[in-house]
Amino acid sequence: MGSTDNMRLEVTVRRSDADGGYDQIFKVPAYAHQTVLDVVSWIQQYSDPTLTYRFACRVGMCGSCAMMVNGAPRWTCRTHVNKVLNGDRLHIAPLRNLPVVKDLVVDMDPFFDKWIAAEGLHHPTRTRHDPIVSIDPENPQRGEANAGIECINCSVCYAACDTVAGNSDYLGPAALLRAWTVFNDEKNAGKQDILDAVSGSSGCHNCHSMGSCSHFCPNALNPMTAIAGLKRETAKTIFRRRKDA
Amino acid sequence: MLDLRLYMAQRISAMVMIPLVLGHIAVMIYAIQGGLSSAEILSRTQGSAFWFLFYGVFVVAVSVHAAIGLRVIVHEWLGLRGIALSLLTWTICLVLFVMGARAVMAVTLL
């Protein structure tokens, strides 16, 4: 990839420094088939080895290479440059709504902490000594669980969410999608724990249903629908509790 | 910032307002057709338990609904949080309620 005969792309990369960061422009060769991650890797390997970024699998499975590309959150390993170019220009920045560690690397801790806060964990119904629960794949509730199970934790939806941008405590689409997925799993025992966890002041009721999460999700998942499901179930608990009281 | 309790209060107040808004608009359009004067309108509303309840419930629903809606906007756009945000929510609710209640009483009480 060392060719310099076609340095057509003008790539602006957001770099970090003590003063809050600056934009640096690189000339990068254009190829017929290249991803945004290829472009970032070319810069790091041939132009500026100090450029810091994060990736692992390069095939859209690990969820570690997401960045803002021309203002929109993308999984860079599976984003074709030609599909997102603005003329011959590309602007690459760290993911929105998360603190920057260095250059294009963000601290994912707040993102994963919120998964835990939303009770997006497995609450077992049985021990390892019990037989495995048999799951009916045709069950509609199983369908809801299956719909969200392919989340790769890339944080693209979290970066896309304007509610997170305005309300940093909000749990965000990924954590709530996971909570909804676990809630619908027959093997999960903590249904009420999940509903309580997403009903607090940072919970699912802060969502304005703007839909950026579902629009930008690289795996075509639908966190907005999952959040609507949580709103529905939590609303039901109010009336159920009244009846039980 | 918006928990289940506030969310439900805003949704329920919205549901209460839907028929009241439609009724209010319908009455406004109907009332001015024949060129009714203020005195003629007041003669119909003053002492009427129906209009007292209609606009009384409307004012309560608006106070709750608008206070929660503005709370969300002020938090997300201006970053206000904690006790200051709760205080602002209650102040908006109270101001709207007092203003609305004054108007309802003026128009429906004898």
- pLDDT digit string, tens, across residues B4-18: 999 999 999 999 999
Question: Which residues in chain B have Cβ-Cβ distances shorter than 8 Å to A201?
Answer: 1-3
- pLDDT band, residue A199 (cuts 50/70/90): very high
Query: What six digits make up the tokens of A188?
Result: 């999960």
> Using 50, 70 and 90 to split pLDDT, how confident is the model at A5?
low
Q: What is the pLDDT of residue A244?
A: 63
- The answer, yes or no, to whether residue B41 has pLDDT greater than 70, is yes
Which pLDDT belongs to residue B37? Answer: 84
Task: Give the residue extent of every domain in chain B.
Answer: 4-108
Chain A CA closest to residue B2: A201
Q: What is the pLDDT of residue A238?
A: 83
- CB under 8 Å to B48, separation ≥6 — which residues? B108
What Cα–Cα distance (Å) separates residue A137 from each residue in A118, A182, A183, A190, A218? Answer: 26, 15, 16, 21, 25
A158, HSE (Cβ side, Cα atoms, 13 Å): 33
Question: What torsion, rounded to 10 degrees, do the Cα atoms A119, A122, A126, A128 define?
Answer: -140
Given a contact cutoff of 8 angstroms between Cβ atoms, the answer to whether B65 and B6 are in contact is: no
Considering only alpha carbons, which residue of chain A is nearest residue B78?
A166
pLDDT digits (tens, 9 = 90+) for A107-116: 999 999 999 9
Three-state DSSP string of chain B: CCCHHHHHHHHHHHHHHHHHHHHHHHHHHHHCCCCCCHHHHHHHHCCCHHHHHHHHHHHHHHHHHHHHHHHHHHHHHHCCCHHHHHHHHHHHHHHHHHHHHHHHHHHHCC
pLDDT of residue A193: 95
| Residue A205, both tokens | 């009721």
**A197 touches A234 (CB < 8 A):** no
**Which among B2, B72, B75, B89 is the top mutation candidate for probing chain A, defined by the most A β-carbons within 10 Å of its own β-carbon?**
B2
Report the Cα A31 to chain-centroid distance in Å. Answer: 28
Nearest CB neighbour to A205, from listed B4, B76, B77: B4
Choose, out of A97, A169, A196, A201, the residue to mutate when testing the contact with B (most B CBs < 10 Å).
Answer: A201
> What pLDDT does residue B38 have?
86
* pLDDT surpasses 90 at A240: no
Residue A231 predicted with pLDDT over 70: yes
Tokens for A132? 């495995």
User: What tens digit of pLDDT does each residue of A20-77 get?
Assistant: 899 999 999 999 899 999 999 999 999 999 999 999 999 999 999 999 999 999 999 9
Categorize the per-residue pLDDT at B31 as very low, low, confident or very high, splitting at 50, 70 and 90. Answer: confident
Task: Choose the closest CB to B76 out of A167, A202, A238.
Answer: A167
Q: How far is A201 from chain B (nearest CA, A)?
A: 4
Interval B71-86 mean pLDDT: 96
| Tens-digit pLDDT profile for residues A165-183 | 999 999 999 999 999 999 9
* Contact between B2 and A200 using a beta-carbon 8 Å cutoff: no
Which residue of chain B has the CA closest to A231? B4
ipTM above 0.90, yes or no: no
Sorted by where each starts, the structural domains of chain A and their CATH numbers stand as: 9-106 (3.10.20.30), 109-244 (1.10.1060.10)
What's the rounded mean pLDDT across residues B75-83? 95
| The residue to which tokens 């392919």 are assigned | A150
Report the pLDDT value the prediction gives residue A99, as an integer from 0 to 100: 97
CATH topology of domain B4-108: 3 helical TM bundles of succinate and fumarate reductases (1.20.1300)
B16 phi/psi in degrees, rounded to 5? -65, -40
Q: Is the pLDDT of residue A3 over 70?
A: no
Kindly state the DSSP code that residue A43 receives in the 8-state scheme. Answer: I
Tokens 């608008």, located at residue = B66
pLDDT of residue B34: 80
B101/B110 Cα distance (integer angstroms):
15
pLDDT cut 70: percent of chain B above it = 100
- The bridge status of strand A100-102 relative to strand A105-106 is antiparallel
